[in-house]
């Protein structure tokens, strides 16, 4: 009986290992160093601002960010006035008193506008493919920020013998579509001119937009990291106290 149980346990232990080994052969996504990782992890405010600039100047024409309101941008280190001015650069459709279509300036309570009026239009503009909303993208994809960074910088010539379909682009990290993605390479050196003077290499731009989109998906990450740290300290102190308590109780029992 014992042997059967042991054998069953061994099989069960091997199953997840073989599944993950299989998944790992699909695409290897290298791990990057991110400032927001770990218990002391923080977002770099200047980097978030650069990432916002990249979203606005490069990605926003095709991808929405519907879960982010302009007022949320204060977390990037902008003043209320700056956020107001930022929102006012956008126009939103509304009706006047007679019911005619007009536009109004964006308010801080507005959310980033959708790039296309509907899915049909979005697909028609992108060779049939739908550019996903980017609000939660780093959580929606295996590999999270590492995946996003490598996807954006992973465009290269297809391997010999592979024919890339019309309107598609080879990307060694886009496993879902047989390494063929409908989004063309978006980032190149000096594509943006950063307001803070940072040199805009492709790598830098990709890191900045990745950090910004990770903030969009996890705006409370810093608070969570520091709570995690406090919980850890509490556990350490509690363990030490419990240890001394145990010593005292057993010392008394042993005397008896
Ligand atoms: C010209 C339009 C266009 C622009 C600009 C653009 N994309 Fe895309 N993007 C697409 C399309 C279309 C898809 C869908 C690709 C597919 O499913 O094959 C896509 C897909 C994606 C995906 C999802 C990949 C996946 O795993 O499914 C991410 C992430 C992404 N884009 C990020 C970005 C970022 C970040 C920027 C700005 C630096 C950007 N895109 C700029 C059109 C665009």
Q: pLDDT category, 200, cuts 50, 70, 90?
A: very high
- Structure-model confidence comparison of residues 16 and 231, the more confident one: 231
CB of 164 sitting under 6 A from ligand 1: no
CB of 217 sitting under 6 A from ligand 1: no
Residue 86 lies in a domain: yes
pLDDT tens across 45-71, in order? 999 999 999 999 999 999 999 999 999
Residue 76 lies in a domain: yes
Is the pLDDT at 202 greater than 70, yes or no?
yes
Pocket test for ligand 1, best of 29, 51, 131 (most atoms within 8 A of CB): 131
CA of 55 to the centre of ligand 1 (A): 11
Q: Are 133 and 63 within 8 A, CB to CB?
A: yes
The model's pTM:
0.86
Q: pLDDT category, 18, cuts 50, 70, 90?
A: very low
Q: Are 72 and 54 within 8 A, CB to CB?
A: no
Question: What's the pLDDT score for residue 11?
Answer: 58
Give SS3 for 79: coil
CA of 228 to the centre of ligand 1 (A): 33
Q: Which ligand 1 atom lies nearest to the CA of residue 174? A: 26
**What range defines the domain where residue 74 resides?**
69-110
Residue 85 lies in a domain: yes
Q: How far apart are CA 55 and CA 61, in angstroms?
A: 9
Question: What's the pLDDT score for residue 21?
Answer: 43
Instruction: Pick the closest to residue 172 from 65, 29, 22, 9 (CA basis).
Output: 29
Residue 11 lies in a domain: no
Q: How many domains does the chain have?
A: 1
CB of 38 sitting under 6 A from ligand 1: no
Q: How far apart are CA 45 and CA 195, in angstroms?
A: 13
Q: pLDDT category, 252, cuts 50, 70, 90?
A: confident
pLDDT tens across 216-244, in order? 999 999 988 889 889 999 999 999 999 99
Q: Spell 185-219 as b/e; 16+ CB within 10 A means b.
A: ebbeeeebebeeeeebebebbbbbbbbbbbbbbbe
The region of weakest confidence among 2-11, 25-34, 129-138, 145-154 is: 2-11
Nearest CA to ligand 1 atom 33: 59
Q: pLDDT category, 13, cuts 50, 70, 90?
A: low
**Residues 138, 216, 186, 166: is their CA dihedral positive or negative?**
positive
CB of 141 sitting under 6 A from ligand 1: yes
Nearest CA to ligand 1 atom 40: 59
């Amino acid at each position: 009986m014992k042997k059967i149980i042991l054998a069953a346990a061994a099989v069960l232990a091997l199953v997840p290992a073989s599944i993950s080994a299989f998944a790992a052969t699909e695409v290897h996504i290298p791990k990057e160093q991110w400032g927001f990782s770990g218990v002391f992890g923080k977002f770099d405010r200047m980097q978030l601002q650069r990432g916002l600039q990249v979203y606005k100047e490069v990605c926003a024409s095709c991808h929405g960010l519907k879960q982010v309101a302009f007022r949320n941008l204060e977390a990037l280190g902008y003043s209320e006035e700056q956020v107001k001015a930022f929102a006012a650069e956008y126009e939103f459709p509304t009706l006047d008193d007679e019911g005619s279509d007009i536009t109004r300036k964006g308010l801080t309570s507005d959310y980033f506008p959708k790039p296309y009026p509907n899915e049909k239009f979005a697909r028609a503009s992108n060779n049939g493919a739908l550019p996903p909303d980017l609000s939660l993208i780093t959580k929606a994809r295996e590999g999270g920020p590492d995946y996003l960074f490598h996807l954006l910088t992973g465009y290269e010539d297809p391997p010999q013998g592979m024919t890339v379909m019309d309107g598609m682009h080879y990307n060694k990290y886009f496993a879902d579509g047989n390494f063929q993605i409908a989004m063309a390479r978006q980032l190149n050196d000096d594509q943006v001119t950063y307001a803070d003077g940072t040199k805009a290499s492709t790598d830098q731009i990709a890191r900045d937009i990745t950090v910004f989109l990770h903030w969009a998906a996890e705006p409370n990450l810093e608070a969570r990291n520091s709570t995690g740290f406090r919980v850890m300290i509490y556990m350490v102190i509690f363990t030490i106290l419990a240890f001394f308590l145990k010593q005292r109780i057993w010392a008394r029992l042993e005397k008896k």
